[in-house]
Structure 1
Amino acid sequence: MHLDYVLRLCQAHIYLHAYIRKTGILFNLFLLDLHMDLVIGGSGFIGTNIANRLKREGTAFSILDKKKPQAESEWINHDITNPIEPMENIDCIYHLAAEGTIRVCQENPQVCFDNNVLGTYNIAEFARKNEVKHIVFMSSYATYGNSNETSTEEFPLRARNHYSYSKIAGEAMFESYAHEYGIKVHAMRSAPVIGKHLIKGVTAHFYQKLKSNSEEIEIWGSGEQKRNYIWVEDLISAMHLTKQKQTEPYGFYNVGGADVVSALDILALLSKKLEANPKIIRDEKAGFKGDIAMQIVSSEKLQKMGWNETKNFNQYMNEYIDWLIESKFETLML
């Protein structure tokens, strides 16, 4: 083989690798014998942030979702309630696809089952048949139910709603597949997540209401419902750490921030940021069966592995509110 040909081949490979790092799009995996990640539910809030992180890190990936993703990537248009077609060279699946609204799950159990249980089974089967090495599963703090104590991983699971039960079912299914088929599964029992591209949840709801009427705002219940929210980038770092350090086939991890905040705390910060001073009207009868009033999760297990959050509540919440303002979030919801 001539030296100039070898040099041109090496140069082409370097250019292709640079393109992969820039775009996150990978061509001809089979010929190059490269592996990639598959972000299932990559069009959603957490999935978009994972895709952006993978792109920055130069990791090849594709997104599988029934909705077109925001991140620039190869898009596999697929509904996980149906079996997934075979793919080669998948190293890790990020399973983020779910019906995540507790109220929707309560009002329509079939939607909850189809997306959160049947969909998870289809992903587990895809991983088994295609020799996937890792699955990162987005579980939830909600599996612990209501508690005035800080929940560790040793706490009993006390689901209060269909959504929580569907996440417990997903964990059980993946634990079985991990031990039976040698897939490493990393289940993240995450507190509520905050970050760019989030268009649901308490903060987005309050923001939308204040933009339409800054004089008064109605809240459900007392407003004292408490959580230890987590910044999305710190959640992703926790996912990556478990992939690197977990030795057993199956592991489950709480991930939450150090700051415990209430709905009223969020409203106060948001009002200050928007220079609003709304009258608060409490609807004490609001809410729904299965709602979780109090749940704080301990991240001590992850911290012992070397994980720590990098932004506190005020830092990431201010960053998130800035994104809501800059993205003209209120117009996105029309």
Structure 2
Amino acid sequence: MNKSILITGAAGFIGYHLAKKLLEKGLNIIGVDNLNDYYDVNLKKTRLSELLQFENFSFKKFDISDLASMESLFIQNSIDIVINLAAQAGVRYSIENPSVYIQSNIIGFYNILELCRKYPVRHLLYASSSSVYGANKKIPFEETDFVDNPVSLYAATKKSNELMAHTYSHLYKIPSTGLRFFTVYGPLGRPDMAYFSFTNKFFNNEPIQIFNNGNFDNDLYRDFTYVDDIVEGIERLIDIPPVDHNPMYRVLNIGNNNPEKLMVFINALENALSHSLGKEVELIKEFCPLKPGDVHKTYASTEKLEKLIGFKPKTPIQEGLVKFTDWYVKYYRKVNLWFIKFSK
């Protein structure tokens, strides 16, 4: 059997972009996704339909918390690399629906680790999150920082994943790399993310909610990272498992190393929309208190990543947002009658 790369969450935002890049290089990809309805399933189906055009792509629809289905996949295929991107996402949603986070992010990840133990792989890469840093005041965030004070259940599950991977690497010699992503954005992104929901609200003529109380001197900062930079980082790491570590374990930040004020990001989004629509755009703004679970600033140190693979994310937000808004306008012009009416 030919060696294959398993990507869980393949119909998700990062999973889709990564799978597409690797498929274009001729690699055999097995995708798994439960296609849940946390956000618009049609968007997930759009991503999946593009991947299914590749002959070297196969897809299974089930949840990673389904151990029997997952094990059958390992038995029937020679899986060389596992990239676990399947997870229940969203900080605020975890406050309202904690059980789904335990099911997917804890039980599901435990299944991944068990199967990598039982059917050894060359490298396990998995999505962690910048949220593990919690309300850390030391900046930029470094992988060696203390991260035992999460401010959301989502963050706690991601920190748990890192601890579980460390233990399995120690006990069973599984080479594992945890990837702490910093506010990823781009085309075919997640509608629950701010830049996407802000764009939706613009076309619905609704105000966007900005959770900084209108205090521009104490604005929120985010290390916005364009999805292609995330994909390149993962791609370069695939063939560099931490086999020279004891245990064979590491975590890495993948962020833009250039935090922007939220209001700067919003202005960049307005400029991007103006470019894509060919007319001036200004979002209607409503300022609100900071939400529980949110953090004031995210800022990635990428020195460890640069030293290892000679690369760090570099796409400026204006360039990345134009790519997003160009895609958004084209995509929703096809699928939404209200947009067709608006564009006239």
Both structures adopt the same fold (TM-score exceeding 0.5): yes
* TM-score normalised to structure 2 length: 0.81
Structure 1: gaps of 5 or more residues? 1-29
**Segment drifting more, 35-44 vs 247-256:** 247-256
Q: Which amino acid aligns with 2:71?
A: E
Pairs within 5 Å for 1:187-226: 187-200=178-191, 201-213=193-205, 216-222=207-213, 224-226=219-221
**Segment drifting more, 109-118 vs 71-80:** 71-80
Pairs within 5 Å for 1:273-288: 273-274=273-274, 275-284=280-289, 287-288=290-291
Are 2:55 and 1:60 equivalent residues in the alignment? Answer: no
Q: Which amino acid aligns with 2:118?
A: K
Kept in 2: contact 1:132–1:183 (CA 8 A): yes
Q: Which amino acid aligns with 1:235?
A: I
Q: Distance in 1 between matches of 2:152 and 2:333?
A: 30
Superimposed CA distance per residue, residues 149-176 of structure 1 (whole angstroms, 9 cap, x where no aligned partner): 2111111003111001100111111111
SS in 2 for 1:151: coil
Q: Which amino acid aligns with 1:259?
A: N
Deviation at 1:41, TM superposition (A): 0.8
**Segment drifting more, 223-232 vs 103-112:** 223-232
Deviation at 1:279, TM superposition (A): 4.1
Kept in 2: contact 1:228–1:260 (CA 8 A): yes
Pairs within 5 Å for 1:147-296: 147-148=136-137, 149-157=139-147, 158-200=149-191, 201-213=193-205, 216-222=207-213, 224-245=219-240, 246=242, 247-248=244-245, 249-272=248-271, 273-274=273-274, 275-284=280-289, 287-296=290-299
Kept in 2: contact 1:143–1:159 (CA 8 A): yes
Kept in 2: contact 1:259–1:313 (CA 8 A): no
Identity over aligned residues, as a percent?
25
Superimposed CA distance per residue, residues 48-101 of structure 1 (whole angstroms, 9 cap, x where no aligned partner): 001101111111011011125342231112111220223231011110111111
Q: Which amino acid aligns with 1:169?
A: S
CA RMSD in angstroms comes to: 2.1
Q: Distance in 2 between matches of 1:270 and 1:186?
A: 33
Q: 2:83 aligns with which of 78, 94, 115?
A: 94
Pairs within 5 Å for 1:70-89: 70=49, 71-72=51-52, 73-83=57-67, 84-86=70-72, 87=74, 88-89=77-78
Pairs within 5 Å for 1:1-150: 30=1, 34-67=2-35, 69-70=48-49, 71-72=51-52, 73-83=57-67, 84-86=70-72, 87=74, 88-148=77-137, 149-150=139-140
Kept in 2: contact 1:199–1:329 (CA 8 A): no
Kept in 2: contact 1:145–1:295 (CA 8 A): no
Kept in 1: contact 2:202–2:284 (CA 8 A): no
Paired residue for 1:298? 301
Change (3 A) 1:278 1:241: closer
Q: Larger Rg: 1 or 2?
A: 1
* TM-score normalised to structure 1 length: 0.83
Q: Distance in 2 between matches of 1:235 and 1:329?
A: 28
Count of residue correspondences:
299
Kept in 1: contact 2:268–2:317 (CA 8 A): no
Q: Distance in 2 between matches of 1:237 and 1:62?
A: 19
Q: Which amino acid aligns with 2:304?
A: K
SS in 2 for 1:296: coil
Paired residue for 1:21? none
SS in 2 for 1:188: strand
SS in 1 for 2:105: helix
Paired residue for 1:321? 325
Q: Which amino acid aligns with 2:20?
A: N
Structure 2: gaps of 5 or more residues? 36-44, 275-279, 339-344
